Amino acid sequence: MSTERETSTRNPRPFPYELRTFPVRLVQGKVPDEVARWSEAVALGFYANAPTGAELAKVAALEQVDGRMATGAYLIDAATPAGAWGPEYPVATYAYHRKDLNVGGGTLLPVHQITAVTVRPSHRRRGILRAMISTDLAQAKAAGIPMAALTASEAVIYGRFGFGAATHVCQVEVSSRGGIAFHSPSAAAQGTVEVADVQVVHDLHNEIFARVHAATYGSIGRHEMYRLVASGQGDYSSMEPSKNIRAALHYDAAGEVDGYVTYKPDEAATPPTVKIVDLLAAGEGAYLALWNYLGSLDLIGRVTWDMAPEVDPLEWAMAAKRDYKRTETEDHLWLRILDVPAALAARPYRADGRISIHVADPLGHASGIFRIEVVRGTATVTRCPEDGSVEAELAMGVSELSSMYLGAVTARTLLAAGRLREEKPGTADRFDALLALPVSAHSLTNF
Ligand SMILES: CC(=O)SCCNC(=O)CCNC(=O)[C@H](O)C(C)(C)COP(=O)(O)OP(=O)(O)OC[C@H]1O[C@@H](n2cnc3c(N)ncnc32)[C@H](O)[C@@H]1OP(=O)(O)O
């Protein structure tokens, strides 16, 4: 059980690596060699094309705006065989930038976003990831950041470092031949939708995302590259604009753009299908109106999206509910509380109450007994002495607390799963009553 988890014993084999951290940026208009080699190592790890020359300079300039910091693990005192990448190439990569997370009640919590984690196949399982993430989380904690986040390539890697799955996204297929019939046609026809150049989406992206982010529980900040990805102007492996992405904008009653969808044909699919690249709806009515537009695409029988929320108003707006098919639900945002009092005090509560919890953290940052007292929806969270004077009523790991933070799972479910322990009967339900919010968290950001 995770509350009994211990820091694993480090492999006694020598660790012939040095971790070096540097900003991703241009120096006198050029990409520094260490950034170029680091990017090539990232591309190796993700089986992607490595951007070079002007493309790499564009990526670095965008990441400079994000304040992205890169870490590489470099071989020290070890020769590399002739012909192989030399020690100036990192054998492992890691990066972070800092944005914020919408934790409800209009609060945006600073968050440390981890990405670009790769370890060269020939250096795997020697503790490099453990060294990089332990060092980095300790530095983020020391810098006063209360929460770390990532999106995981595999679900088995990050729990041991205190991360827990905190939001999910769904892949959906919506049958659209003949249009989507809505229970309330007027609800799906608010404002107007019109076709636009994708460049307009590129230019408006940050403004519209800021509105969506501020209004969406569970939303995490987007990095600068996103406006290019959303508008088909480039991504990490190519800055070549895509020719087959189309855009439609939603205008509110005052004629202001308050949402957009970008989409492209999925050429291999039958029936003829378009795939949503990005959909942001900031204004009331924009979401259904954009789906109404997608449903009206002639010659198209299906629309797919791989970032749909778990609770999707579209499913309930459609007259033929079964024309909305959820084909996959996957964990998306993984959170890792670094500072329990700061994180728990930041989010809103709908019920008042008091509870004491014990949190176990394999890396120590969130360990302890904490008393949570909620009065009129605001929590005061106090670290308690661990001298036996305060008895915790519920014991859990930081991974479990991080999964409950935005409501991805309840304490009752984790109790049934053997992942938390009631020291006092009925406390799991009391904790759930305290944490419950009427909305489901959803993040529209891949990073
Ligand atoms: C946030 C992101 O960027 S997600 C993308 C992650 N990157 C990838 O998936 C790219 C391909 N994979 C890799 O590069 C590597 O295999 C990594 C990064 C996943 C792991 O790196 P390594 O240096 O081999 O991990 P390390 O040796 O530090 O292992 C740390 C622990 O995680 C475990 N672990 C690491 N990878 C895996 C895995 N894929 N499955 C199960 N356990 C794993 C190890 O067993 C070890 O456990 P322990 O310390 O509790 O005994």
What pLDDT digit, counting tens, does each position of 187-239 carry?
Answer: 999 999 999 999 999 999 999 999 999 999 999 999 999 999 999 999 888 88
pLDDT above 90 for 79: no
Cis peptide before 271 (omega within 30 of 0): yes
Give yes or no for residue 346 having a pLDDT over 60: yes
On whether residue 441 sits in a domain, the answer given is no
82 and 45, same structural domain?
yes
Q: Given this model, what pLDDT does residue 238 score?
A: 86
Domain assignment of residue 447, yes or no? no
Mutate which of 8, 114, 129 for ligand 1 pocket (most atoms within 8 A of beta carbon): 129
The tokens for 28 are: 């006198």
The answer to whether position 286 is within a domain reads yes
Give pLDDT, residue 13. 57
Instruction: Indicate if ligand 1 lies below 6 Å from the C-beta of 114.
Output: yes
What is the CA(152)–ligand 1 centre distance, in A? 11
Both tokens of 425, joined, read 């009967």
Instruction: Domain of residue 159: give its range.
Output: 2-167
Residues 236 and 304 in one domain: yes
Same domain, 18 and 84: yes
Contact assessment for residue 267 and residue 306, using Cβ atoms and an 8 Å cutoff: no
Ligand 1 atom at minimum distance from 124 CA = 24
2 belongs to an annotated ligand binding site = no
Whether complex ipTM tops 0.90: yes
Nearest CA to ligand 1 atom 49: 8
User: In which element (H, E) is residue 344 found?
Assistant: helix 340-346
- Residue 79 and residue 192 share a domain: no
Q: Say if 44 falls within a structural domain.
A: yes
Alpha-carbon span 205 to 260, nearest angstrom? 9
- Asked if residue 19 has its Cβ within 6 Å of ligand 1, the reply is no
Does 274 appear as a known binding residue?
no
Residue located nearest, by CA, to atom 6 of ligand 1? 117
More confident of the two residues 240 and 118: 118
- Catalytic residue set: 158, 447
- At 180, is the pLDDT very low, low, confident or very high (cuts 50, 70, 90)? very high
Q: Is any atom of ligand 1 closer than 6 Å to the C-beta of 13? A: no
CA distance 86 to 109: 41
Residue 9: the pLDDT is: 45
Last residue of a domain, one of 167, 191, 221: 167
Ligand 1 and 6: CB distance under 6 A: no
For ligand 1, what atom is nearest to the CA of residue 46?
A: 10
C-alpha 409 – ligand 1 centre gap (Å):
25
Residues 250 and 131 in one domain: no
The verdict on 196 and 140 lying in the same domain is no
306 shares a domain with 219: yes
The alpha carbon of 108 and the centre of ligand 1 are apart by a number of angstroms equal to 30
Instruction: Match 């329990």 to its residue by tokens.
Output: 340
Say yes or no: 57 and 81 in one domain: yes
Task: Establish whether residue 156 lines the binding site of ligand 1, counting it when its CB lies within 6 angstroms of any ligand atom.
Answer: yes
User: Taking the chain, what is the end-to-end CA distance rounded to the nearest angstrom?
Assistant: 30
Residue 430: predicted pLDDT: 97
Q: In testing the pocket of ligand 1, which one of 13, 119, 122 has its CB within 8 Å of the most ligand atoms?
A: 119
Whole-number pLDDT of residue 263: 98
Q: Is the pLDDT of residue 106 over 70?
A: yes
Pair 124, 25 in one domain: yes
pLDDT at 3 over 50: no
Give the span between the Cα atoms of 169 and 360, in whole angstroms. 28
Residue 132 Cβ < 6 Å to ligand 1: no
Lowest pLDDT segment from 140-144, 173-177, 238-242, 370-374: 238-242
Statement: residue 8 has pLDDT above 80: no
Residues 183, 64 share a domain: no
Q: What is the pTM of this model?
A: 0.94
Residue 444 placed within a domain: no
Centroid of ligand 1 to alpha carbon of 33 (angstroms): 27
pLDDT for residue 7 is more than 50: no
For 296-321, what is the mean pLDDT? 97
Task: Give me the CATH number covering residue 404.
Answer: 3.30.1050.10
Q: Indicate the residue among 288, 313, 331 that finishes a domain.
A: 331
pLDDT of residue 5: 40
Mean pLDDT of the 130-138 span: 98
Q: Which of 283, 300, 331 is the last residue of a domain?
A: 331
Among 7, 13, 124, 156, say which to mutate for ligand 1: greatest number of ligand atoms within 8 Å of CB: 124
125 labeled binding residue: yes
CA dist 423 to 29, 193, 223, Å? 60, 55, 42
Ligand 1 in contact with 160 (CB < 6 A)?
A: yes
User: DSSP assignment, residue 220?
Assistant: B
**3-state class (DSSP) for residue 110:** strand
Find out whether the beta carbon of 118 lies less than 6 Å from any atom of ligand 1: yes
CATH code of residue 159: 3.40.630.30
Q: Kindly state whether residue 446 falls inside one of the protein's structural domains.
A: no
Ligand 1 centroid to residue 445 C-alpha, Å: 23
Tell me the pLDDT tens digit for each residue of 383-441. Answer: 999 998 999 999 999 999 999 999 999 999 999 999 999 999 999 999 999 999 999 99
Query: Which atom belonging to ligand 1 lies closest to the Cα atom of 120?
Result: 14
Domain membership flag for residue 160: yes
Instruction: Say how far apart CA 336 and CA 446 lie, in whole Å.
Output: 17
Same domain membership, residue 181 and residue 321: yes
Whether ligand 1 lies within 6 angstroms of the CB of 33 is answered as no
In a domain, 309, yes or no: yes
Distance 151 CA to ligand 1 centre (A): 14
pLDDT of residue 1: 41
Expressed in angstroms and rounded, the spacing between residue 234 Cα and the centre of ligand 1 is 29
pLDDT reading at 6 higher than 80: no
| Same domain (yes/no): 195, 159 | no
User: How many domains does the structure of the chain reveal?
Assistant: 3
